[in-house]
Amino acid sequence: MIGFCWGGTKSFEHALHAADLDAAVVYYGGTPANADFSVVRAPVLGLYGGDDNRVNATIPAADSGMRAAGKSYESHVFEGAGHGFLRAQSDTVRGVANRAASAGAWPLTIAFLRKHLGA
């Protein structure tokens, strides 16, 4: 499962509740509050923009909680990128798109899915 923004949070939440999930990718989604990481069965990949302070404030809870529960959680923060950095790269009006972060994050996503899905 791959989720972006609100969907990224939902992707992480789904990893907390779905016994049959094989992998979850969280793009700039927050860590679910009061999560019981011990029930997570799927590995989780988190990809975040360095300038996204609201979401990034939730990364330490995911990192420490998943590690304490012995679960697989890998996170990457792309400096200079904000929330929604993977969006349409031609969106220069809002200045959200970040080509360098996208070029780094997408291959990580594909490699993570190949590793955990055997594709």
Structure tokens that stand for 96 in this block:
């959200």
Active-site pick, 14, 17, 20, 52: 52
17 has catalytic annotation: no
- Dihedral class, residue 112 (left if φ above 0, else alpha if ψ from -120 to 50, else beta): alpha
**DSSP-assigned states of every residue in the chain:** -EEETHHHHHHHHHHHH-TT---EEEES-PPPTT--GGG--S-EEEEEETT-HHHHTTHHHHHHHHHHTT--EEEEEETT--TTTTS-TT--SS----HHHHHHHHHHHHHHHHHHH--
Active-site pick, 20, 51, 63, 83: 83
Nearest Cα neighbor of 72 from 47, 49, 41 is: 41
Give the global pTM. 0.92
- Domains in the chain with CATH codes: 2-117 (3.40.50.1820)
20 has catalytic annotation: no
63 has catalytic annotation: no
How does pLDDT run across 22-67, given as a tens digit for each residue?
999 999 999 999 999 999 999 999 999 999 999 999 999 999 999 9
How does pLDDT run across 7-20, given as a tens digit for each residue?
999 999 999 999 99
